[in-house]
């Protein structure tokens, strides 16, 4: 599978079609594949283009470099946030991209090495299947890093996958979950060795070509409908999104990341 790790073109999102599988690689290893706005847009565009591609039977998302799947959204982009609409628009944007991946009608598999945090965790959670190496670190440590909040939909997704108790650990204690615990709790479907995970996931993804397409689509759609009944309106979290993103704490945390300035949480 070396041709998956080293495709013919290099960009912040790598794309390759191989044996009926679309491989989408997050390619900013120097930043642990932190997502830029352009990367979110590219992922959304790939989802749109692949829906009606009959040559594609499954999609694999993976991080380039071996150290991270996605280490959240690139924090430097938050330095331009000055008004409440910036924060709300950002969370809506993430909801749209994550929601499109969640509703994508073909099987999606997340191949996870290393950090899978923040926005990366949100993307992995809505994939149909998750496979990881022993280096997995999964979570949303914003209580330690930025002092912001997730949207109500992404909180709901975490509760669906982790349960209430572990969601509170992830969000309030900033706890990161390792591969063994993730496997034991069903967060990941299987753990593979670092040297074989690409080949192992390729076998699983390619096998969907031998499954009934309508059954796959129906199963995913009906599970999605059941989950949707448990979701609140997108604006149900706007008050806390505004409070957190417009706070002094958030501005100071972003400034610390960009300019390496020290600060202490103030609660304001």
Residue by residue, DSSP assigns 125-173 as HHSSEEEE-TT-EEE--HHHHT-----HHHHHHHHHHHHHHHHHHHHHS
Q: What gap in Å lies between CA 108 and CA 216, rounded to an integer? A: 11
**Crossing angle of helices 37-50 and 84-103, rounded to 10°:** 30
The encoded tokens of residue 172 equal: 């309030």
Residue range 2-228 forms a domain whose CATH class is: alpha beta
Is the entire prediction scored with pTM above 0.75?
Answer: yes
Please identify which residue in the block is written with the tokens 């283009």: 49
Q: Domain map of the chain by residue range?
A: 2-228
Strands 177-178 and 137-139: antiparallel
Residue 122 CA from chain centroid, whole number? 4
What tens-digit pLDDT sequence spans the chain (268 residues)?
333 333 333 489 999 999 999 999 999 999 999 999 999 999 999 999 999 999 999 999 999 999 999 999 999 999 999 999 999 999 999 999 999 999 999 999 999 999 999 999 999 999 999 999 999 999 999 999 999 999 999 999 999 999 999 999 999 999 999 999 999 999 999 999 999 999 999 999 999 999 999 999 999 999 999 999 999 999 999 999 999 999 999 999 999 999 999 999 999 9
Q: Can you give the pLDDT at residue 7?
A: 37
Task: Report the chain's terminal Cα–Cα distance, integer Å.
Answer: 50
> E-assigned strands of the chain?
13-18, 21-26, 58-63, 68-71, 108-112, 115-117, 129-132, 137-139, 177-178, 190-191
Q: What gap in Å lies between CA 193 and CA 198, rounded to an integer? A: 9
**Three-state secondary structure of 68-96:** EEEECECHHHHHHCCCHHHHHHHHHHHHH
Contact (CB, 8 A) for 23 and 16: yes
SS3 state of residue 236: helix
Q: Can you give the pLDDT at residue 133?
A: 98
Strands 129-132 and 108-112: parallel
Q: Can you give the pLDDT at residue 232?
A: 95
Contact (CB, 8 A) for 107 and 216: yes
Q: Can you give the pLDDT at residue 51?
A: 95
Q: Can you give the pLDDT at residue 178?
A: 98
Q: Can you give the pLDDT at residue 9?
A: 36
For residue 16, the cross-strand partners are 23
């Amino acid at each position: 599978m070396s041709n998956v790790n080293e495709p013919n073109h290099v960009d912040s999102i790598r794309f390759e079609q191989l044996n009926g599988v679309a491989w989408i690689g997050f390619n900013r290893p120097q930043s642990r594949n932190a997502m830029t706005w352009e990367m979110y847009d590219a992922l959304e565009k790939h989802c749109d283009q692949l829906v009606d591609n009959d040559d594609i039977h499954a999609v694999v998302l993976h991080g380039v470099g071996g150290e991270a799947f996605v280490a959240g959204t690139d924090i430097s982009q938050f330095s331009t946030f000055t008004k409440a609409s910036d924060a709300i628009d950002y969370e809506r944007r993430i909801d749209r991209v994550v929601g499109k991946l969640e509703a994508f009608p073909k099987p999606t598999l997340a191949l996870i090495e290393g950090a899978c945090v923040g926005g990366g965790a949100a993307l992995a959670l809505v994939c149909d299947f998750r496979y990881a190496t022993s280096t997995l670190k999964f979570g949303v440590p914003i209580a330690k890093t930025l002092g912001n909040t997730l949207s109500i939909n992404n909180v709901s997704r975490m509760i669906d996958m982790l349960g209430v108790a572990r969601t509170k650990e992830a969000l309030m204690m900033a706890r990161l979950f390792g591969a063994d615990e993730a496997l034991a709790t069903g967060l990941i479907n299987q753990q593979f060795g670092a040297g074989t995970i690409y080949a192992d996931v390729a076998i699983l993804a390619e096998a969907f070509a031998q499954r009934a397409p309508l059954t796959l689509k129906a199963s995913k759609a009906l599970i999605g409908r059941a989950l949707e009944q448990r979701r609140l309106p997108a604006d149900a979290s706007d008050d806390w999104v505004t409070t957190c993103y417009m706070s002094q704490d958030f501005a100071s945390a972003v400034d610390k990341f960009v300019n390496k300035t020290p600060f202490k949480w103030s609660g304001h």
